[in-house]
């Protein structure tokens, strides 16, 4: 996976979010499917069945496949988390950076613990605090990552082949970049397919009279 995520800020209202490929081989996907069956047979107790994903799986930071799901479900997010981990990032799923509507009962991993852990580490203003400035409902990203070595945060939306990108997901990533300065991206988990377009342009909508005093300033 290309780690050079470079959002382009044309203005506080117009941002280009990069579209990045995270490649996998078919053997990894087949191993994941086999592990999904073994996971249920072990009453969701034997983390070793996840093979190269076992270390991430047993952190409790991600929702693992449950009964009656398609065997390939959750693969894209855990594969992306593994790619980030290999680059020195700790990753969390289900972090509530923004709040909207009713709380989701079934989150990704332990959403409350994940949110509290990230919030305790975050050096930037918490996104829900500036949410009232937005005239759309931002979607929380699939993954939040942090590298202590790089001293760098990352936010990404993970998509499988052919899965569409929601405009409010893009806008949320753009706002997170404006707020924190952190790289953001849409990650397309793919088996060698070319991705198009190389980036997504989005316009951010703000409420009338909004003061954008929270936008991150480059050094």
The pLDDT score that the predictor gives to residue 219 is 58
Residue 217 lies in a domain: no
Domain range for 110: 8-203
Residue 168 lies in a domain: yes
Residue 211 lies in a domain: no
The pLDDT score that the predictor gives to residue 104 is 44
CA-CA distance, 138 to 135, in Å (whole number)?
Answer: 9
CA-CA distance, 151 to 139, in Å (whole number)?
Answer: 25
The pLDDT score that the predictor gives to residue 100 is 59
The number of folded domains in the chain is 1
pLDDT under 50 in the chain at which residues? 102-107
The pLDDT score that the predictor gives to residue 148 is 96
Residue 210 lies in a domain: no
Residue 3 lies in a domain: no
Residue 126 lies in a domain: yes
Q: What is the pLDDT of residues 54-107, one digit of tens each?
A: 999 999 999 888 888 888 989 999 999 999 999 999 999 999 999 855 444 444
Cα of first residue to Cα of last residue in the chain, in angstroms, is 27
Full-model pTM: 0.93
- Quick one: CA dihedral 144, 214, 119, 121, positive or negative? positive
The pLDDT score that the predictor gives to residue 70 is 85
């Amino acid at each position: 996976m290309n780690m050079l995520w470079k959002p382009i800020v044309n203005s506080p209202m117009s941002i280009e979010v990069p579209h990045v490929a995270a490649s996998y081989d078919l053997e990894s996907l087949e191993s994941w499917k086999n592990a999904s069956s073994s996971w249920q047979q072990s009453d969701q107790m034997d983390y070793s069945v996840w093979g190269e994903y076992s270390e991430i799986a047993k952190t409790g930071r991600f929702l693992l496949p449950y009964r009656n799901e398609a065997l390939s479900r959750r693969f894209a997010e855990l594969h992306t988390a593994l790619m980030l981990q290999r680059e020195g990032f700790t990753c969390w799923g289900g972090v509530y950076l923004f709040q909207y509507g009713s709380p989701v009962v079934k989150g990704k991993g332990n959403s409350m613990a994940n949110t509290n852990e990230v919030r305790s580490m975050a050096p930037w203003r918490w996104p829900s605090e500036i949410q009232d400035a937005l005239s759309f409902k931002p979607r929380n990203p699939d993954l939040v990552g942090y590298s202590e070595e790089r001293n760098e945060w990352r936010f990404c939306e993970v998509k499988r082949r052919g899965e569409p990108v929601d405009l409010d997901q893009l806008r949320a990533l753009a706002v997170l970049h404006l707020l924190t300065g952190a790289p953001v991206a849409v990650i397309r988990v793919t088996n060698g397919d070319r991705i198009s377009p190389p980036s997504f342009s989005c316009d951010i909508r703000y409420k009338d009279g909004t003061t954008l005093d929270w936008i991150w300033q480059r050094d």
